[in-house]
Structure 1
């Protein structure tokens, strides 16, 4: 490559429309061309490969003594005409028959950039020609665009991504202005209608539209063209019909770019028969699929297992499928096209039946493996496949013959509905399936008690009891001891959380007894023991509660379970607090909170933070108590964190808030309360976990040197290590070491915890 010349030889035409965004992509392709003589731009149809290639060529044109030359191959159908077409482009002459040796002789020692656009349908011919040109012409560099690589020696690949739809900015307007996808839409819409303008609501609709179109430039341009006849909000609502969006009369655009469907048709025609069928089959996976799912759902007579990898590789090479970690994903437009093809092939029912079997296996694995050391793994798998789970649940409702299976799957998903903090979704599916299927079966009984438990989580005692009445009736008639045990325990829990402790006790005791008589690896035994212990705590029987909790703790530990064990630790912490063993309380609840963060238990986290707030007050740290109680009120407003619906906890919470306000005084209380409302996410966790070390003014024997205390106090007021070094006139590296030592000695994980601990020292309570 030669630089420093102003010559701009070649056949690149002037720009008709501006290239929006792509600054980083263009720079990266130019970097690749500086290091490699052959670069291929790949990506799905409509992603903007041609526009990017032309932009790169235009920017590099003057760097090549003999310029940049573009050869468009989209309309070329005969491989034998490839060499003559290229000769004509470079020599501006008419060639009907010419050998490759004549082309290489024409190029010779010229320093030039050759751009071959749309190679995919002539892949073998383009690969052979490019290899020969690179071998014979030492000063040429080649930039190609293709759905798939040429796969020849020396080829560097660049996969062109869709335009970014990510919004980043201090205001919505600034964020929209910084989104390349939105900028493209606005620019093209104004090209069709110079008076095009938008309100903020319409801009939000445009952002949503661009997201639904996956940031695909062709789709966005076609949508922008539609604004001539359709309001933006209507267009956004109809984004699912993106395949039908049509070009606004551009006579120069290739026919395959007149609609997205034409683009997809073109790509599909380039696929082998097996690849086309795999594309169609994979379309049932809304959020992608791993190899296990592909083997179970897509392998069959038309695609044997031994052909799966090579066929999948073809789809990846053609930019139809992307590998994202261990999952194969498609852009939504590509997936929807695959759905259409699946219907046309007449195989939708067969594939969806396989998908149901696949999801049923995953849910069965969750049901059988959740209570054990694999708890997080089986739950994570269901969360990953959540889109497929939802599709399958919808299928059950559409196919009445499968309603019993639907009830079983929805009920066996109880760990997901409960631990994810989203009981409303579980209720949605269970209510719909229970309404559709009224036959008194074991599946119905199980669905009823799960629905009751979720209804209780949402604070609807009356609704929960109604569901439990029917569950007990069905289970008793069938002799279903499992659902009868679950319903009995759940009824006790319903009375317990309503504050009716004496009503709860007999049901909780009977429920635990029934659960003990079932199989050993039964998580509901631990659930019942936890609720029984809570009832004993409310009764004032701390010794009895401790006995039940010790049994539950040993039971969970024996099975390697974490989530229910964390609940046991919370209840043990509450026992310790009421027994005035505040240090033990904090240690137990901090342990529970650490475990709950790992398993993502929103309700349990809320309980743990609440009790740490009470313990902080009991230890004399009223400011921390106020902040934690305030933060918890914010958390309690979220779905699935129904602390403020549990009457015993509500009463305790109100009592502690009153005591904290009285201790601090109005002004200090409001300041601490406001601080708590701003604590969210990781900062709230760190602040809560810092409760395991007493406030500085209560713990003069902290294992820190005077210098470490001095640095910790500066961390507490928000100074960075660099600022601390400047303040104390010591080396930056020395401060780094001191901060690491402080974290290690206090068993902390973040500066936030240091700040939380030392913040009270400068503001002693009065």
Structure 2
């Protein structure tokens, strides 16, 4: 049996911890072959130990434990092949970065430890993570009584992620806690650009390769061919994780040689295949080899050339994919860019470092939709704002624009879009107005129409539906005349929402139908999802819960296909609120988990919802607290906070459809409260739920509850019947 895996993963410790059962072997001998100066010396050690085992009497086989078989190649393999025969009565437990390729060899890959998911700051949750548990146990060896607390939990989790769950790195990092707190240690590792120069000082009795990550990395790459070192150096420039197409674009070797060298590096665990259930295979150069190869490239003066090749490859990827982000393969290309996001950011930094500011701005603009879908909102704002700033001119001669005005105008507009997605509608409106002024000065009709449309949406979110209609109507006309189908459809959906808010339901429905039809025709899944959310809102105002739920379910299906993050919390909240107000038997724990998952996702994004939505959610949570026991609510909320977004969507889609059967009329209608009478009379006037909420200064969700109770007490199944009943009173 050969334990395989990268250096520092714990192969030696695992082999050393093996304890045979009584009588299982007639004798056991152990040898560390890594320090052997040559294959001949290693072979001599094996022969000597084998001779000792043969002299031990008994009927059982003997066991030879060989640690560090990495660098002795064919001579050692040939010898073991000769020894491991039925007559030899010998078994071998070996550790190696790559298989020994001996007949009958059983491979046992030893993997890195799982790391915490996301920015975990819960000590209880970290206690169940293997990386954090090892770090804590090793820390107590040098700092008795060390514990993960609320103050250091986030730093411990980030250290585990930074060190990629490599056991040796975790143990060396824990050893530094005799000098630093986890927070200070994390800052030092980040400041030094990696763990190699900081993490050393393992036990004196340990092999040299286990006392320092630098030594470990050096031993890992020893014996590589020139082509293997060349390719490994170029792959080390990638942030962890890259696909085969990008590998081929960055590799300096011909494609056939690249494939062969990649296989050799995979065998030696210098490149690892990442776990992935679907999609294209992805690989990574693990730490500390990645940092070591980066240092080697820098020492040879080759690092900048490798970085330039990497940046050029990702510039080509983004510019090639951008035109394909609307169409039948939108989901595929969005997922490709999502997987490559860390490398794209590295490429942007490199291009900016080289002074290619216009190229950087163009790429950031091309990443508008991917970053919105992935939830990289603050990243987007930071890049837009930093690129749009003025740079000092030479010799203090004032300032000079860092970019041409057309690019600056588009960056300001994009910054406003990200700002609106974060929940700051007021700032988004101001930024859109600034971008609009720039576009009008430039005479760019298409960009002016686009910015006007986006400003209209921001005005609507800011609570100014009249201003929104005034902006969206002309923008829609202009975009349609320019043949901009997808932006025109987005504008039509936003206009429908603004008109609905004003109570003009007929025009709102016409605009919504136009947006829905166009989005389906151009196969814009994200735009279609937004249109379906508006359809659900229209249906909910008509008390058609089944239609609303169907539209929201289709919306969530689309968001799941895109792996959408930014708009997902809003859609999921809308479905949860719909469950609560339309079905008294709806599962309280399920609704609580959904709302908690939305809260957790918003926290991760750094975004917030509007005041009206926040009020509705708070009322819903109050209702859930009263429906569930205190323990039941607390447990469900905690489960939802830990629930991944994909799981929250799966649970929402698996929930039964709302019970919309008409209420059975009672022989005598129950009396209405004074507030319900007010609401019923406003319903009879034809006001929407939102208009009633504004008139009575209560939340829209409260109005929906009142309307539901009114219909039940009066035995009505529609708002029309409520109006007829009110007509009878008067």
TM-score higher than 0.5: yes
The 8 Å contact of residues 576 and 584 in structure 1, kept in 2 or not, is answered as: yes
CA-CA distance at 1:309 after TM superposition = 1.1
The 8 Å contact of residues 533 and 546 in structure 1, kept in 2 or not, is answered as: yes
The 8 Å contact of residues 6 and 268 in structure 2, kept in 1 or not, is answered as: yes
Aligned partner (choices 226, 231, 235) of residue 176 of structure 2 = 226
The 8 Å contact of residues 288 and 327 in structure 1, kept in 2 or not, is answered as: yes
The 8 Å contact of residues 616 and 622 in structure 1, kept in 2 or not, is answered as: no
- 1:188–1:59 distance in 2 versus 1, CA, 3 Å: farther
The aligned counterpart of 1:746 is none
Q: Measure the CA separation in 2 of the matches of 1:626 and 1:40.
A: 48
CA-CA distance at 1:261 after TM superposition = 0.7
- 1:687–1:295 distance in 2 versus 1, CA, 3 Å: closer
The aligned counterpart of 1:79 is 39
Q: Which aligned pairs between 1:156-195 and structure 2 lie closer than 5 A?
A: 156-164=106-114, 181=131, 184-185=134-135
CA-CA distance at 1:126 after TM superposition = 0.7
- 1:383–1:665 distance in 2 versus 1, CA, 3 Å: closer
The aligned counterpart of 2:4 is 42
Which digits, 9 at most, give the CA deviation of each residue in 1:574-610, with x for residues without a partner?
3344456554444334433443343344564455456
CA-CA distance at 1:472 after TM superposition = 2.8
Aligned partner of residue 332 in structure 1, secondary structure:
coil
CA-CA distance at 1:475 after TM superposition = 2.9
- 1:130–1:395 distance in 2 versus 1, CA, 3 Å: same
Aligned partner of residue 59 in structure 1, secondary structure:
coil
CA-CA distance at 1:162 after TM superposition = 2.9
Q: Which aligned pairs between 1:372-411 and structure 2 lie closer than 5 A?
A: 372-399=327-354, 401-411=355-365
- 1:197–1:632 distance in 2 versus 1, CA, 3 Å: closer
The 8 Å contact of residues 375 and 565 in structure 2, kept in 1 or not, is answered as: yes
Q: Measure the CA separation in 2 of the matches of 1:597 and 1:477.
A: 41
Aligned partner (choices 29, 33, 53) of residue 69 of structure 1 = 29
Q: Measure the CA separation in 2 of the matches of 1:699 and 1:140.
A: 82
The aligned counterpart of 2:197 is 244
Q: Measure the CA separation in 2 of the matches of 1:166 and 1:634.
A: 18
The aligned counterpart of 1:282 is 235
The aligned counterpart of 1:215 is 165
- 1:369–1:204 distance in 2 versus 1, CA, 3 Å: closer
The 8 Å contact of residues 8 and 168 in structure 2, kept in 1 or not, is answered as: yes
Q: Measure the CA separation in 2 of the matches of 1:552 and 1:282.
A: 45
CA-CA distance at 1:134 after TM superposition = 1.8
Q: Measure the CA separation in 1 of the matches of 2:316 and 2:146.
A: 51
Q: Unpaired runs of 5+ in structure 2?
A: 391-400, 666-707, 715-730
Q: Measure the CA separation in 2 of the matches of 1:84 and 1:699.
A: 92
The aligned counterpart of 1:528 is 491
The 8 Å contact of residues 607 and 643 in structure 1, kept in 2 or not, is answered as: no
Aligned partner (choices 20, 41, 57) of residue 59 of structure 1 = 20
Q: Which aligned pairs between 1:614-629 and structure 2 lie closer than 5 A?
A: 621=584
- 1:211–1:197 distance in 2 versus 1, CA, 3 Å: same
CA-CA distance at 1:213 after TM superposition = 2.5
The aligned counterpart of 2:224 is 271
CA-CA distance at 1:418 after TM superposition = 2.4
CA-CA distance at 1:289 after TM superposition = 1.0
Aligned partner (choices 396, 415, 423) of residue 451 of structure 1 = 415
The 8 Å contact of residues 426 and 451 in structure 1, kept in 2 or not, is answered as: yes
Q: Measure the CA separation in 1 of the matches of 2:577 and 2:138.
A: 59
Aligned partner (choices 506, 525, 550) of residue 513 of structure 2 = 550
- 1:294–1:575 distance in 2 versus 1, CA, 3 Å: same
The aligned counterpart of 2:64 is 114
Which digits, 9 at most, give the CA deviation of each residue in 1:337-358, with x for residues without a partner?
2221222232222222222233
Q: Measure the CA separation in 1 of the matches of 2:220 and 2:448.
A: 57
- 1:172–1:377 distance in 2 versus 1, CA, 3 Å: closer
The aligned counterpart of 2:690 is none
The aligned counterpart of 1:694 is 659
The aligned counterpart of 2:389 is 435
The 8 Å contact of residues 50 and 64 in structure 2, kept in 1 or not, is answered as: no
Q: Measure the CA separation in 2 of the matches of 1:74 and 1:449.
A: 60
CA-CA distance at 1:189 after TM superposition = 5.2
CA-CA distance at 1:435 after TM superposition = 1.8
* 1:475 paired to 2:439: yes
Q: Unpaired runs of 5+ in structure 1?
A: 1-38, 93-102, 701-759
Which digits, 9 at most, give the CA deviation of each residue in 1:536-559, with x for residues without a partner?
212222221222222222211112
* 1:419 paired to 2:349: no
- 1:534–1:633 distance in 2 versus 1, CA, 3 Å: farther
Aligned partner of residue 243 in structure 1, secondary structure:
coil
CA-CA distance at 1:481 after TM superposition = 3.2
Q: Measure the CA separation in 2 of the matches of 1:278 and 1:363.
A: 23
* 1:563 paired to 2:526: yes
- 1:125–1:107 distance in 2 versus 1, CA, 3 Å: farther
- Under a length normalisation based on structure 2, what TM-score does the superposition of the two structures give? 0.76
* 1:510 paired to 2:481: no
Q: Which aligned pairs between 1:299-378 and structure 2 lie closer than 5 A?
A: 300=252, 303-324=253-274, 325=276, 326-378=281-333
Aligned partner of residue 70 in structure 1, secondary structure:
strand
Moved more, 440-449 or 579-588: 579-588
Which digits, 9 at most, give the CA deviation of each residue in 1:319-371, with x for residues without a partner?
11111241112323222222212222322222222222332233334421222
The aligned counterpart of 2:610 is 645
- 1:629–1:508 distance in 2 versus 1, CA, 3 Å: farther
- 1:511–1:456 distance in 2 versus 1, CA, 3 Å: same
In angstroms, what is the RMSD of aligned CA positions? 4.3
Q: Measure the CA separation in 2 of the matches of 1:630 and 1:136.
A: 60
Moved more, 666-675 or 44-53: 666-675
Which digits, 9 at most, give the CA deviation of each residue in 1:92-122, with x for residues without a partner?
6xxxxxxxxxx99999998311223222221
Moved more, 180-189 or 76-85: 180-189
Aligned partner of residue 84 in structure 2, secondary structure:
helix
Q: Measure the CA separation in 1 of the matches of 2:309 and 2:110.
A: 34
The 8 Å contact of residues 122 and 153 in structure 2, kept in 1 or not, is answered as: no
- 1:563–1:313 distance in 2 versus 1, CA, 3 Å: same
Q: Measure the CA separation in 1 of the matches of 2:507 and 2:514.
A: 11
The 8 Å contact of residues 235 and 247 in structure 2, kept in 1 or not, is answered as: yes
The 8 Å contact of residues 499 and 646 in structure 1, kept in 2 or not, is answered as: no
- 1:104–1:172 distance in 2 versus 1, CA, 3 Å: same
The 8 Å contact of residues 357 and 403 in structure 2, kept in 1 or not, is answered as: no
Aligned partner of residue 288 in structure 2, secondary structure:
helix
The 8 Å contact of residues 74 and 118 in structure 1, kept in 2 or not, is answered as: yes
- 1:160–1:459 distance in 2 versus 1, CA, 3 Å: closer
- 1:419–1:290 distance in 2 versus 1, CA, 3 Å: closer
Q: Measure the CA separation in 1 of the matches of 2:2 and 2:627.
A: 65
Aligned partner of residue 482 in structure 2, secondary structure:
coil
CA-CA distance at 1:699 after TM superposition = 8.7
Q: Measure the CA separation in 1 of the matches of 2:206 and 2:407.
A: 57
CA-CA distance at 1:409 after TM superposition = 1.4
Q: Measure the CA separation in 1 of the matches of 2:638 and 2:169.
A: 41
Which digits, 9 at most, give the CA deviation of each residue in 1:291-332, with x for residues without a partner?
11100112x2xx222210111111111111111241112323
